[in-house]
């Protein structure tokens, strides 16, 4: 009985060492090690949104660590992005003036972008044009402009996370 226990323990330990073929690591194309983030085109009237999104993209690529962010001249591939639409909708109301007037208390921001990844010198893109949307809800407190800017910042962060996942796992 003791021998059977030892045999099972040794076989279990050996199977753990051998594994089942899975490994932790990047899903990126092995030929692509670096990426550049081209200046973002903004087709909306939202001020500074392209700068905010570009900063969030750099941060998310650093956190993901599948690709190193480099300059346009030295990167293996380049991410091109175009902001298509920014929508703001009311999600909750608050009453004021004895219940007679309704004012928005919470808002939702939805940002839609189109992006592609190319390898310089190749005719076809590495990742074809793809549309991605992300949203964020925010509440208006004392200053609506600051609340909206904070909401846009968080929506850009959510959007950048999605774009990094679609870029690094699109193979």
> Quick one: pLDDT at residue 17?
59
How far apart (Å, rounded) are the C-alpha atoms in residues 51 and 95? Answer: 36
Task: Give the number of other CB atoms < 10 A from CB of residue 130.
Answer: 15
Residue 161's φ and ψ, nearest 5 degrees, are -60, -45
Q: What is the pTM of this model?
A: 0.79
**Percent of the chain residues past pLDDT 90, beyond the cut:** 57
How far apart (Å, rounded) are the C-alpha atoms in residues 1 and 8? Answer: 11
> Quick one: pLDDT at residue 19?
58
Q: Is the pLDDT of residue 4 over 90?
A: no
> Quick one: pLDDT at residue 142?
75
How far apart (Å, rounded) are the C-alpha atoms in residues 93 and 79? Answer: 39
Q: Is the pLDDT of residue 108 over 80?
A: yes
Q: Which domains does the chain have, with CATH numbers?
A: 26-168 (3.30.160.150)
> Quick one: pLDDT at residue 67?
94
Structure confidence by residue, pLDDT tens digits, 53-87: 999 999 999 999 999 999 999 999 999 999 999 99
Q: Which token pair is 159?
A: 């959007």
Q: Would you place residue 10 in the very low, low, confident or very high pLDDT band (cuts 50, 70, 90)?
A: confident
> Quick one: pLDDT at residue 101?
61
Q: Is the pLDDT of residue 171 over 60?
A: no
User: Residue 33 CA to chain centroid, in angstroms?
Assistant: 18
Residue range 91-109: average pLDDT? 70
Give ∠ CA 17-22-23 in degrees, rounded to 5: 85
How far apart (Å, rounded) are the C-alpha atoms in residues 119 and 126? Answer: 6
> Quick one: pLDDT at residue 96?
62
- Angle between the N-to-C axes of helices 144-168 and 49-64, in degrees from 0 to 180, rounded to the nearest 10: 40
Q: What is the signed CA dihedral for 126, 128, 131, 134, rounded to 10 degrees?
A: -10
- Rounded mean pLDDT of the chain? 86
Q: Would you place residue 30 in the very low, low, confident or very high pLDDT band (cuts 50, 70, 90)?
A: confident
| H runs (alpha helix) in 19-104 | 49-64
> Quick one: pLDDT at residue 16?
63
Structure confidence by residue, pLDDT tens digits, 114-133: 999 999 999 999 999 999 99
């Amino acid at each position: 009985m003791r021998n059977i226990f030892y045999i099972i323990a040794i076989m279990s330990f050996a199977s753990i060492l051998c594994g089942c073929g899975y490994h932790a690591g990047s899903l990126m194309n092995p030929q692509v090690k670096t990426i550049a983030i081209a200046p973002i085109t903004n087709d909306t009237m939202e001020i500074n949104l392209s700068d905010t999104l570009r900063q969030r993209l750099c941060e998310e690529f650093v956190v993901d660590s599948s690709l190193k962010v480099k300059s346009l001249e030295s990167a293996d591939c380049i991410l091109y992005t175009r902001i298509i639409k920014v929508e703001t909708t009311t999600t909750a109301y608050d009453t004021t003036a004895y219940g007679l007037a309704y004012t928005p208390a919470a808002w939702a921001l939805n940002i839609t972008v189109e992006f592609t990844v190319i390898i310089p010198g190749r005719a076809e893109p590495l990742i074809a044009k793809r549309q991605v949307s992300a949203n964020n809800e925010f509440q208006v407190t004392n200053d609506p402009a600051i609340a909206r800017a904070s909401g846009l910042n968080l929506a850009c962060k959510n959007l950048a996370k999605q774009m990094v996942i679609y870029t690094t796992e699109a193979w």
